[in-house]
Amino acid sequence: MQHRIVVLGAGYTGAVAAGRLARRLHREDVTITLVNPEPDFVERVRMHQLAVGQDLRPRPFGEMFAGTGVELKLAKVTAVDVDRKAVTVAAVNGHGPEELSYDTLVYALGSGWNDGGVPGVAEHAHEVAGRSGALRLRDRLAALDAGRPVVVVGGGLTSLEAVTEIAEARPDLDVALAARGALGDWLSEKGRAHLRKVVDKLGITVHEHTAVDAVEADGVTTADGRSIPAEVTVWTTGFAVHPIAEATTLALTDRGQIVVDTTMRSVSHPDVYAVGDAAMAMGPQDKPLRMSCASGVPMAWQAADAIAARLAGVKVPHVSIRYYQQCISLGRKEGLIQFVTADDRAVDSALTGRGASLYKELVCKGAAWTVANPTAGMPSRRRRVVRQETPGRVPAEAAA
Ligand SMILES: Cc1cc2nc3c(=O)[nH]c(=O)nc-3n(C[C@H](O)[C@H](O)[C@H](O)COP(=O)(O)OP(=O)(O)OC[C@H]3O[C@@H](n4cnc5c(N)ncnc54)[C@H](O)[C@@H]3O)c2cc1C
């Protein structure tokens, strides 16, 4: 009997995990089903570009997975029963719910925007965490007359990319950033100075040390009682995981992420693996990995390699997961590559300007290429499955 592997979500991590599993395991021994509601790959790291009117290259899964043995199921996951090893999906063509049974599950449903429970955000704010939100913002920005105010709330990587992209694409708008801390306060001195220079050049008003505690149709209110006018508010204060895992018996963090070990296997259910934004794994210095492609893609490699090794009855390999840099686009002409320690702290070295912009573009292209060419560049040897059941946690079987 074939071992049934079901991968939920075909974002950066689910698509990479499915492709790598197909490369690692013998086709006669496994079925690999990849469940995703959309037929093409969404480059989430470019949603701020989509929001300002840039068109992204279409990347249909049908082409990517042709001939790999990965079967794409166009459906939306509505429930996961990890005790019965079954996933309920609703087909996107309107057909009724269906149940998929699995022997091994890879959970990679990613994340969406996080309204933080702040009043008015869900009703009035826009987002760039996913394609539908980015397209809605694109329409809204396109409809704005010159001089109208736009505020981006949040001070992290996505906020910086969004606010600079908007200001560069629409120099006629009055663009502001409201950040809880100081602008780029986690960056090196060189990184901060460059960021400030670009932000000033783009004419962005920066409200530092500004917590927003309400959003209305015509602006935001700050915790210290100020009003910042905004015809469009873009809320970029972090991501939230989908609530599907919460309705299971999986061990989760307070944020609803699935707690996994160093091989990306659930600490409560050995036949479930979780990767990417949906999972909480510890990285270097015992710090949780942050939601990112930078750590999500190696998490997917690790999960696929661990599953294949365990099924083949061989030693589980260890994939190094660490950070090297934070790549920040600052519009299309400027960028900032902040080099970091293995556990993601800025070091005193950064690449800036046009070179950084090109570097970032290469990184984005590289990530999409990795997804689009799931079986390229790896040894072609496929292992035979010797164990149909996923073995439970065995202390002696820790990652090599
Ligand atoms: C604007 C922006 C810029 C970013 N820039 C960077 C960057 O420069 N570097 C970096 O490292 N990270 C960046 N990130 C973060 C990065 O995009 C995410 O961390 C990464 O996409 C997580 O990968 P994932 O596979 O876990 O989730 P995703 O890529 O979100 O994929 C999840 C998949 O699951 C599918 N899915 C969701 N719900 C269901 C369901 N119910 N049923 C079936 N399928 C479902 C989705 O359609 C999607 O295909 C950025 C994010 C944004 C929004």
Whether residue 133 is found in the same domain as residue 277: no
Look at residues 272, 297, 322 and tell me which one is the last residue of a structural domain. 322
Shortest-distance Cα residue to atom 15 of ligand 1: 292
Question: Given the CA of residue 275, which atom of ligand 1 is nearest to it?
Answer: 26
User: Is residue 400 scored above 60 in pLDDT?
Assistant: no
What confidence score (pLDDT) does residue 385 get?
84
Please determine, for residue 114, whether its predicted confidence score (pLDDT) is greater than 50: yes
Q: Is residue 383 part of a domain?
A: no
Residue 180 has pLDDT above 70, yes or no: yes
Q: Average pLDDT in the 122-138 region?
A: 97
Going by DSSP bridges, is the β-strand pair 205-207/174-178 parallel, antiparallel, or unpaired? parallel
Answer positive or negative: Cα dihedral of 244, 4, 282, 344: negative
**In a domain? residue 9:** yes
Ligand 1 mutation pick, 45, 131, 152, max ligand atoms within 8 A of CB: 45
Task: Choose one of 43, 44, 337 to mutate for the ligand 1 pocket test, by most ligand atoms within 8 angstroms of C-beta.
Answer: 44
Average pLDDT of the chain is 94
Across 386-398, average pLDDT: 55
Q: Is 47 in the pocket of ligand 1 (CB under 6 A)?
A: yes
Distance 303 CA to ligand 1 centre (A): 17
Q: Does the C-beta of 5 come closer than 6 Å to ligand 1?
A: no
Residue 335 lies in a domain: no
Residues 64 and 99 in one domain: yes
Pair 388, 103: CB distance under 8 Å: yes
Domain ends where: 179, 213, 235? 235
Domain-terminating residue out of 190, 206, 235: 235
Average pLDDT over residues 27-56: 96
* Ligand 1 atom nearest to 44, measured from its CA: 17
pLDDT of amino acid 387:
72
- Whether 76 and 147 share a structural domain: no
pLDDT of residue 94: 73
Q: Say yes or no: 126 and 228 in one domain.
A: yes
User: Quick one: three-class SS letters along the chain?
Assistant: CCEEEEEECCCHHHHHHHHHHHHHECCCCEEEEEEECCCECCCHHHHHHHHCCCCCCCCEHHHHCCCCCEEEEEEEEEEEECCCCEEEEEECCCCCEEEEECCEEEECCCEEECCCCCCCHHHHCECCCCHHHHHHHHHHHHCCCCCCEEEEECCCHHHHHHHHHHHHHCCCCEEEEECCCCCCCCCCHHHHHHHHHHHHHCCCEEECCCCEEEEECCEEEECCCCEEECCEEEECCCEEECCCHHHCCCCECCCCCEEECCCCEECCCCCEEECHHHEECECHHHCECCCCHHHHHHHHHHHHHHHHHHHHCCCCCCCCCCCCEEEEECCCCCEEEEEECCCCCEEEEEEEHHHHHHHHHHHHHHHHHHHHCCCCCCCCCCECCCCCCCCCCCHHHCCC
- pLDDT digit string (tens) for 249-299? 999 999 999 999 999 999 999 999 999 999 999 999 999 999 999 999 999
Say yes or no to pLDDT of 229 above 70: yes
- Which pLDDT band holds residue 392 (cuts at 50, 70, 90)? low
CATH code where residue 128 lies: 3.50.50.60
Same domain, 248 and 224: no
For 273, the token pair is 């693996």
Q: Establish whether residue 258 lines the binding site of ligand 1, counting it when its CB lies within 6 angstroms of any ligand atom.
A: no
Lowest mean pLDDT among 81-95, 105-119, 132-146, 363-377: 363-377
- pLDDT higher for 400 or 211? 211
Q: Among 16-25, 248-257, 385-394, name the one with the lowest average pLDDT.
A: 385-394
Counted domains in the chain: 2
| Residue 395 reports pLDDT greater than 50 | no
Q: Which domain holds residue 95?
A: 3-110+242-322
> Is 33's C-beta closer than 6 angstroms to any atom of ligand 1?
no
* The predicted structure's pLDDT at residue 379: 59
The distance of Cα 188 from the centroid of its chain, to the nearest Å, equals 24
pLDDT of residue 378: 61
Nearest atom within ligand 1 for CA of residue 16 = 25
According to the model, what pLDDT value does residue 377 have? 65
Closest CA to ligand 1's atom 7: 45
Q: What is the pLDDT of residue 383?
A: 83
Residue 128 lies in a domain: yes
Indicate whether 89 and 136 sit together in one domain.
no
- Is the pLDDT confidence value at 335 over 70? yes
Pocket test for ligand 1, best of 77, 109, 138, 323 (most atoms within 8 A of CB): 109
Q: 172-176, 197-201, 361-365, 386-390 — which is least confidently predicted?
A: 386-390
